[in-house]
Structure 1
Amino acid sequence: MKHLHSGKVRDLYETDDGLLLMVASDRMSAFDHVLEPGIPDKGEILTRLSLWWFDQLKDVVPNHVVSADVPAEFAGRAVLCRKLRMVPVECVARGYLTGGGLLEYRAGGAVSGVRLPPGLDNGSRLPEPIFTPSTKAPMGQHDEPMTFDQVVDEVGAEVAEMLRRITLDVYTRGAEIALERGIILADTKIELGWDADGVLTLGDEILTPDSSRFWPRELWEPGRPQPSFDKQYVRDWLVSPESGWDRNSGEAPPPLPDKVVERTRQRYVEAFERLTGSAFRS
């Protein structure tokens, strides 16, 4: 196979018959840095959970998966998929206010140009899910929020409407399924691209702890940071005094302590098991 690209988490190969082999590693990224060490079993959890979600969403939007029957050395953490011409927009949906959306709201009362009611706080549920796209920045640079009008300028009005509709449909279905299993889907990012027939298709991963914020429903309490089953735990440790790291220093983050690695793995496993109803065994 021909190696095409290595990203923060995934490695991409092209097979002899023109398919793509997408391999999820155990690498963990945060604040545009790849961290050391990796999180054991993370690649397998992301792959298995994405495959489960693709099946749940197959009537909402087509996806790029061809087969999970992959070479033995990649078993459990890779998929064969169709090539897509990716849309140059990060498609994000939010049902709750937190993270970068909260910072935008506090600065100007809106997120990606969408005006929101006054008085919302960290963890507040929004009146309805909103489409809050961002740029796709090169590795090492930050994605920047985009308004819907900017998306229209980038891809045209018809495609922009399709991106918004599909993103919100995926979020809505995902949030309903997650809530039935005791998890709040606060927000999520999806990747869309055109297949060979010109159909907008889901690519990459979907509704994983890397691409989404998952909160335990029973502990949700607006007005404070929420406990989570995602990589927010790693972000929180990196910006805590314990890490000793200044994210504005230009220096690489410190290695993750064993306890952070293990607790992060536990959160990813719990997200997988709660959502799928299946025990995770690597």
Structure 2
Amino acid sequence: MSEKNQDFQQALANRLTDAAYPELPEHYQGKVRDAYDLPDGRRIMVATDRQSAFDRILAAVPHKGQVLNQTARFWFEKTADICPNHVLSFPDPNVVIGRKLTMLPIEMVVRDYMTGSTETSIWPMYKRGERTLYGHDFPEGLSKNHKLRETILTPTTKAAQGDHDAPITAAEIVEQGILTKDVWDELARLSLALFARGREIAAQHGLILVDTKYEFGVDDQGRITLADEIHTPDSSRYWIAETYQDRMAQGLEPESLDKEFLRLWVSERCDPYKDDIPDIPDETLEIFSEKYINLFERVTGETFKRESFDQPLRDRIRENLAKILPEYF
């Protein structure tokens, strides 16, 4: 076995799938992150290696949680002048401690391209013959992966875990009293400004930021605050700019550095909303893991520091949490 293969086998064995620490209070397990709410208003979020898509867990991907957390850290720092965020500290490569927020019940999705493979993506809707999507009118004759005439917002409702997010229009959000018009207008302004910053920085590194989603909450002073993650390969699509035109001319999918790779792999083999997900081979997980690491390194200009195999990831995280929260450990 080559050294590279041996390292990947070790990484497979060291994946973080369970981040439940009974010492900490108010545990909540999401699809990807485990969270804890402390009495003093702080929220601990641990990014695991669980990989979700189609509203279900598909696999566990080596290095994935660290990539997510550290990519989000880069973008939180690069956009702090646009919108306040929840971040207080990063005590571990897989952990962020933030302010607990009152979360707003809408996910803000921003799109620059006609693409996607999930039920809430605009390409499957358009392909079915729909021409008014999220309150936007689209002309005939559009094709997959082409740039839209303008950047659009396509918000969705937030579903409970295991349920599906649902498309909704800006007008419906206000009419149904989900958000006031002033709050919607501010979320729209912030989302477009964040996306513009992301698109600009991505382009400087040879990447196309295709689309993304943002989640916002309100802090105890009533300020709208960015939460969860930002511009990660889980929450965004990224394409490699230098090969985009050639691949489009050949009728190929763009080279992606995001979870669309795994979505397409699954969709080619089953109906991910109805069928059992087939086992994903280790070789496919390795390709996927390297895409995430490549994305991190391209965006940040930093070399990704892979975890040591001296101890399980779960134990390292526990040690680092105990250093800053000794009263719980």
The interval holding the TM-score normalised by the smaller chain is over 0.9
Which blocks of at least 5 consecutive residues in structure 2 are unaligned? 1-23, 307-329
**Deviation of residue 120 (structure 1)?**
2.1
Aligned partner of 2:209: which letter? Answer: L
1:130-279 equivalence runs, <5 A: 130-153=152-175, 154-221=178-245, 222=248, 224-241=252-269, 245-249=270-274, 251-279=275-303
Measured in 2, the distance between the counterparts of 1:257 and 1:197 equals 48
1:92 alignment partner, one of 109, 114, 117: 109
Report the number of matched residues.
Answer: 272
Deviations 1:214-248 (A, max 9, x none): 0000121446532200011111111224xxx3435
1:47 is the counterpart of 2:63:
no
Deviations 1:184-205 (A, max 9, x none): 0110001001011101000001
Measured in 2, the distance between the counterparts of 1:86 and 1:17 equals 17
Q: Secondary structure at the match of 2:27?
A: strand
User: Structure 1 pair 181/219, CA: closer, same or farther in 2 (3 Å)?
Assistant: same
**Deviation of residue 9 (structure 1)?**
0.1
The TM-score normalised by the length of structure 2 is: 0.79
Aligned partner of 1:93: which letter? Answer: V
2:130 alignment partner, one of 108, 120, 127: 108
Q: Which moved more, 1:158-167 or 1:117-126?
A: 117-126
Q: Matched residues, percent identical?
A: 41
Deviations 1:40-66 (A, max 9, x none): 111111001101000110111110001
8 A Cα contact 1:45 1:269, kept in partner = yes
**Deviation of residue 117 (structure 1)?**
3.8
8 A Cα contact 1:122 1:224, kept in partner = no
In the other structure, the counterpart of 2:31 is 8
Deviations 1:100-147 (A, max 9, x none): 111223422233111234432111111221111011111122111111
Aligned partner of 1:76: which letter? Answer: P
Q: Secondary structure at the match of 2:168?
A: coil
Deviations 1:251-274 (A, max 9, x none): 431221101110110100010000
Deviations 1:131-178 (A, max 9, x none): 110111111221111111112132121111111111111111101110
Larger Rg: 2
1:21-36 equivalence runs, <5 A: 21-36=44-59
Measured in 2, the distance between the counterparts of 1:110 and 1:173 equals 28
The TM-score normalised by the length of structure 1 is: 0.92
Measured in 1, the distance between the counterparts of 2:132 and 2:208 equals 22
